[in-house]
Amino acid sequence: MPMRRAPLRGGGSDVPPTARRRHAPPSNVAREHEPAANRHFQMARALRSARVRVRPFVPNDIPAVASIVREALRENYPTSLYLDIHRWWRDGFLVADLDGHPVGFLAAVISADGQARILMFAVTAVFRKQGFGSQLMNAFVQACAVRGIRTIELEVRISNEEAIRFYKRYGFEISAVLPKFYTDGEDGFKMVRRLG
């Protein structure tokens, strides 16, 4: 009959505690069982220490921008839409880039007749309320002023109170209600800002 080794005190393992500690993975390595939300939080915290820069959109940004659109705007557009905006209204397509990662964007039409219209504007949820949206809006308004734009228009869901407050801080006013404006049937507000 083979001899059985009695478990050590303090638990069901017969591996000495010093051996367990020596073979444990380093504490700074993400483990498979670690919740994904925690890994995303840690990544977001690390990226916050980097500087954001507003730059022109490039086609390589499409996966990140499309992801932000799905998350923040609850819409799903084909790749061709982003390429068309980039092709026809390049000056109005801006990205908030945080250490090489797009975390927000603003896509707009800048017309030769002195008007601009924001088509889409969003910052991914984990990076909101950190000034990235403000940097995008400031850069866009400045670009409009340089080009002699007199008015900027946009549409927003009537349920998006946070965005409405944001736009009002930047001088936009509600000018009309747009019944069933969105694909899911929700009404929208048209908002306008007059420059200079």
Distance of alpha carbon 60 from alpha carbon 3, whole angstroms:
64
Beta bridge partners of residue 122, listed in sequence order: 105
Distance of alpha carbon 89 from alpha carbon 107, whole angstroms:
8
Query: Catalytic: 167?
Result: yes
84: left (phi over 0), alpha (psi -120 to 50) or beta: alpha
Among 75, 153, 155, 186, the active-site one is 155
Query: Catalytic: 155?
Result: yes
Distance of alpha carbon 141 from alpha carbon 154, whole angstroms:
13
Sequence-distant (≥ 6) Cβ neighbours of residue 177 within 8 angstroms: 158, 187, 188, 189, 190
- CA dist list (Å): 59 to 64, 79, 185: 10, 9, 31
For residue 154, the number of C-alpha atoms closer than 13 Å in the C-beta half-sphere is 26
Return the active site residues.
155, 167
